[in-house]
Chain A
C-alpha cells in the first residue's frame, strides 16, 4: 500500500519537464511488478491524478487496471475512462511509452467489440492515432484496429480521412497488410474504386516470404475491384511481386479467375452463368455483393464502348447490344451513367434516341490549371523523396556491407582456384 502511494507521489512530482519524465518512466518500469500485483486496488488512485498533466503515470496505472479481466458493467466504465484519457492526455508524455498506449487502445477496441458497439471506439482511436504518430507518413499499429472499427460500424468517412494520408513508414508488415485490406474495403464501401485498387495492389504485390490469408482475401477483392473499375484484369503479376504470391495466389481463387475469363468475353449472359455456378463460393467469401457490382459494371462498360462508336443510337438498339431487357432499362442505365459522369450524352425521350457527346472538358479553366499545378507539385515532392531514399540507401552501412561482402567473395573465389590447381 505504502509503495503504491509513493508511486502516486512520484508521478505527481515528476511530471514537469522531459528530464523528469524520463526518470519517471524508468521508475515506473521498475515498479511494473508492483502495479501488476496491486492492479485491483489501483482504480481509486486515478482520481488523484490529472490525466492531462500526469499522462505518463496515468497511462501506466490505467494500463495496469485494465489488464485484468472484468465484467460487462465494468467494461462500459472502462471504455469511458480510456476514451476520456485518450482525449485529454498529453502527446509528448504518451510517446514515451507507446507500447502501453497501444495496449490500452487495444483494450478499448476489444471492449467496444464485446459491447457490440464499435462506433464508440472510432473517435477515440482516431485521436489516439493522431497523437501517437510522429508524422502522417507513419503507419502505427493502431491503424488496422481503427479501420476495423470503422468497417464494423460502417463509419467510412473517418476511415477515409486516415486513408488519404500517404503512408511510407511501416514497422510491422502485418499492420500494413491489414491496413491496406481494411482500407480497401472501406474505399469499396465508399465506391472509391481507384483508391481501393491501389491499396489492395499494395497487399498483393508486397514483399512477403510466405503467403498469408490477408493476401489471399485481398487478391480476391483485387480481382473484383479491378473488373469493376478497369473492366479487365491482367492475370500476370508485376515482376516485383514476391515469388510466394506469384506461385500461390492463383491456386486459392479459381472461381474469381473464371469470372475474369467470362468477363473478358463481353457477354452478360456468360458472366451471369459463371456467377450462378460459383455463387456458393462467392457467398462464403462474403464477396457476393461485389460480384453483383461486377455484373452491373459490365452493362456500363458495354454502354461506354458504344459511345466510342456511335453519335446517336436508339434506346432499343442500346438495349439489344448490351443485352438489357427493355429500352426503359437502357434509359435508366444511361441516365445513371450521365449522372455519374461516366459518359456525356443527352436522351431524346420523344423518339427514344440517345445522342453521345464528346468530353466537354477543355482544360482551360482555373480549376484545371490548379489541379495540374497540384499534380506537378506532388510529383516533385515524390521525386525528392525518392532521391532522398536513394541517398540514404547508398550510405546505409548494412547495405554497403552486403554489397561489399559479395564483392569480396568473388575475389576470394578467384584467388582460390589458382592454388588448388597447383596443389595437384
Chain B
C-alpha cells in the first residue's frame, strides 16, 4: 500500500519538478550573453580613484591566472602612482615590473627623488605650523594641523602614521561635522590597512552624531560597515548594510567602493544568508537597491533566477562570475564560502516544498550528476539542513516528518536519565567533599 502511494506521489510531482527546476526555453532566450571572459582591467580601474585603484590593480597583478593581465595591471598601476606622491609604493611596483614594460616604465629615480625632497620640505613646514598652533592653543588650527599631517602621510603611503594623526584630531573637534570628518578619514585609512575592527568602531562613532549626517555620508558609512561585516564573515549583517546603502552614494566613494561592488557584495551575501521571503522583500522589491543592480545585470539576473528557482541558470551565472570575483580585493577570500552557501541554499529550497523528489530531475536542474548530488544532499542531511532521506535504490529523496510525540518521549526519557546520573554523581561528590572536610576537622582537633 505504502509503495503504491509513493509511486503515485512521484508521478504527480514530476510535472511540478519540471516546471520548478529545469531551464525552459524562455529563460534561455532572455539571458544576456555573458561568459567567463577576461576582466576588462581598464574599465574596472576606471571605477575607482585614489589609493584603492592602485591597490586593486596590484592585487589583480598578484592574483590573476592569465599571464597577459599582469603587465597590463602593473602598467596602469605605474601610471596611477606617478600621479601621486607615494614613492615607496612606486619602488615596489618598479621592482615587480622588472623592466618588462620597456624603458618608459623603468625606475624613474629623478622623479622619486624630487618627490621625496618635496615631501621632506612639506613635512618640515607642517611641523612648524603645527608647533605654532599648539603654542597658541587654537583648537581649530591644531585640528587642521593634525589633519594636514594625516593627509600628508596618507599621500605618502605611511598609513599607520596617517591613522594616528587623523585620530589625534579627535580631541580638537568642536562640531559634529568635524567628528564625522575625522571618522571618515579613520575609516578610509583602516580599510586600506585591513583593520576592520577600527572600521566598525568608527562607523558607530560617526553614526552617533545624527544631526550632521547627510545622505551621502550615511551611504558611505553603510558601505564601510558592510565591508567590515563581510570581512568578519558575518554575511547576513553585511548584506543588510549593503542593501541599506542609498542611491546617493553614486560615485562619491570611489576611493573605497564602486556602486557596482555594492550590488555584487550585497547580492551575494543576501543570497547566501537570507531566506526566500527576506530575499524577495529586501533585495528584489527594494527600489533603492534596484538602482545598484541595474549596474550589474548579471547579478540582477542571477538573483531573479534564484528566486524563480531557475537554479541551473543561476549557478551558471555564478560560475561565470567567479573568476572575476576572485580578483576582487575584498571579496576574494569569501567567494568559496559564499558560493557553497548559495549552492546549499538552492538545494534546500529546491527540496523544501516536496514530499518526494526524483534525484534525476534534481540533478538535471542543478547541472550535476546523480552521484554528486547524492553526496551533497548527504552532507546537508547530516548537518540537519534538509529533513529528508535518500532512497538510493530508486534515486528518490523523501521528506521526513519528525514525529513530535515520539521525539518528545525520547527526549523526556533521555533528560530524565541524564538528571538521574548527574544528581547521583553530585551527591557522591558532595559526600566525598564532606568526608574530606571531616577528616581535616578531625586532624585539627
Contact = CB atoms under 8 A, between A and B. Distances in A.
A398 B398 CA distance: 64
Interface in A195-212: 198, 201-202, 205-207, 209
B416 A170 contact: no
A359 B406 CA distance: 9
B427 A312 contact: no
A166 B421 CA distance: 10
B427 A389 contact: yes
B431 A169 contact: yes
B437 A398 contact: yes
B contact residues, range? 35 or more
Interface string B405-422: 110010011001101110
Given A353-B393, A382-B420, A171 B429 contact: no
Given A317-B392, A363-B409, A389 B381 contact: no
Contacts of B441: 398
Nearest to B416: A375
A386 B406 contact: no
Nearest to A359: B406
21 contacts: A168-B428, A169-B431, A170-B432, A173-B432, A176-B428, A176-B432, A198-B425, A308-B389, A309-B377, A309-B381, A309-B390, A311-B390, A312-B391, A312-B394, A313-B390, A314-B393, A363-B409, A378-B420, A379-B419, A382-B419, A398-B441
A277 interface: no
| Leading 5 A-B pairs by shortest Cβ distance | A312-B393, A363-B409, A311-B391, A309-B381, A311-B389
A169 B424 CA distance: 11
Contacts of B394: 312
Nearest to A388: B427
A361 B428 contact: no
Contact of A379 (B398, B420, B427, B429): B420
A309 B405 CA distance: 21
B433 interface: yes
B390 A310 contact: yes
Contacts of A312: 391-394
Nearest to B391: A311
Interface string A352-377: 01001001011100001001100110
Contact of B425 (A170, A205, A209): A205
A385 interface: yes
Contacts of A353: 393
B347 to A, nearest CB: 14
A244 interface: no
A310 B409 contact: no
A167 B425 CA distance: 9
A305 interface: yes
Given A207-B436, A379-B416, A310 B424 contact: no
Given A310-B391, A372-B412, A398-B437, 4 more contacts: A173-B436, A202-B428, A311-B389, A368-B409
Contact of B424 (A170, A372, A375, A382): A382
Contacts of B425: 198, 201-202, 205
Interface of B is mostly: helix
A339 B423 CA distance: 33
Contacts of A169: 431
Interface in A169-187: 169-173, 176
Interface residues of A, number: 47
B424 A166 contact: yes
A415 interface: no
B445 to A, nearest CB: 11
Interface of B: 377-378, 381-382, 389-394, 398, 405-406, 409, 412-413, 416-417, 419-421, 423-433, 435-438, 441
Contacts of A205: 425, 429
Nearest to A199: B425
A383 B424 CA distance: 10
B427 A207 contact: no
Nearest to B381: A309
Nearest to A375: B416
Query: B392, B421, B438: which has the most chain A beta carbons within 10 Å?
Result: B392
Contacts of A393: 430
A240 interface: yes
A181 to B, nearest CB: 14
A363 B432 contact: no
Nearest to A361: B406
Interface string A98-110: 0000000000000
Contacts of A310: 378, 389-392
A385 B427 contact: yes
B416 A168 contact: no
A65 B425 CA distance: 41
Given A311-B398, A398-B441, A167 B392 contact: no
Given A305-B382, A386-B427, A173 B435 contact: yes
Contacts of A362: 406
Contacts of A198: 421, 425
A207 B420 contact: no
Contacts of A305: 382
B392 A206 contact: no
B420 A375 contact: yes
Contacts of B424: 166, 168, 382
Contacts of B431: 168-170
Nearest to B436: A207
Nearest to B397: A311
B389 A309 contact: yes
A207 B421 contact: no
B159 to A, nearest CB: 41
A389 B394 CA distance: 60
A14 to B, nearest CB: 32
A170 B428 contact: yes
A202 B441 CA distance: 25
A383 B422 CA distance: 12
B382 A389 contact: no
Interface string A239-276: 01000000000000000000000000000000000000
A77 B228 CA distance: 85
A317 B378 CA distance: 13
Given A168-B428, A206-B432, A363 B406 contact: yes
A163 to B, nearest CB: 13
Contacts of B427: 168, 385-386, 389
Nearest to A167: B428
A386 B423 contact: yes
A353 B390 CA distance: 13
Nearest to B424: A166
Contacts of B437: 398
Interface string A116-157: 000000000000000000000000000000000000000000
